[in-house]
Amino acid sequence: WWEALHPDDRGPALEDEQASARPGGQLRSEYRLRHRVGSWVWVRDEATVIENEHGELRFHGVLLDITERKRAEAEVRAKNAQLQAIIDNSPLMIWAKDREFRYLFANLEHSALHPADGTSVVGLRDSDFLSAEMAEQFVSSDREVLETGRSVQVEQRVRVQGRERYHLVQKFPLRDEEGVYGVCGIAIDMTERQER
């Protein structure tokens, strides 16, 4: 088993084994093993630790081949990273909020403006870093999307770092099999156009 283990997984696999090495212990570990044909396969090791009559510990369990699942997870991560790069390099402000108006996501363009120090807004509400008036302006159109399930387009005047900006904002509902679970917003800064 040790010789078949991928060198990069030996440390974590051994730690998992040692952490469960007691009578009744439960092992749950994922690692790569060299297959008899020479390729690497991912396995999930699930075992119960049993003490025999000589006081020796034995692992009794199964190895499940999870190679396809790991491959699918890697593909999803790669696609998510690609999508994140596209969104973060967009000149538009893009964000999403849940039904409690907490940010689920915000791209770099949005984060550069809110809050002023550029830290992540994920998990925050607008009222956590904006004036009460501005926060209510944002939440008002969010609420409309959540209540009606329809897209809205609004012009919003915002004060960012002491300067007024004008944004054209499109908001639309985020849905899953249970219905509307949030709202997504896309905004473009129209300040220069408004000032002409």
pLDDT digits (tens, 9 = 90+) for 15-60: 999 999 999 999 999 999 999 999 999 999 999 999 999 989 999 9
Q: How far apart are CA 78 and CA 173, in angstroms?
A: 26
* CA-to-CA separations, 181 to 80, 102, 147, 149, in angstroms, rounded: 20, 12, 11, 10
Return mean pLDDT, the chain: 90
Q: Quickly state the pLDDT bin for 137 (edges 50, 70, 90).
A: confident
Q: How far apart are CA 86 and CA 162, in angstroms?
A: 29
pLDDT number for residue 115: 58
ω before 7 within 30° of 0 (cis)? no
Tell me whether residue 185 is exposed, middle or buried, using C-beta atoms within 10 angstroms of its C-beta: 0 to 12, 13 to 18, 19 or more.
buried
Q: Is the pLDDT of residue 66 over 80?
A: yes
Q: How far apart are CA 24 and CA 105, in angstroms?
A: 42
pTM: 0.66
Q: How would you classify the pairing of strands 93-98 and 57-65?
A: unpaired
Strand, coil or helix: what is 106?
Answer: strand
Share of the chain above pLDDT 70, in %: 93
pLDDT number for residue 108: 86
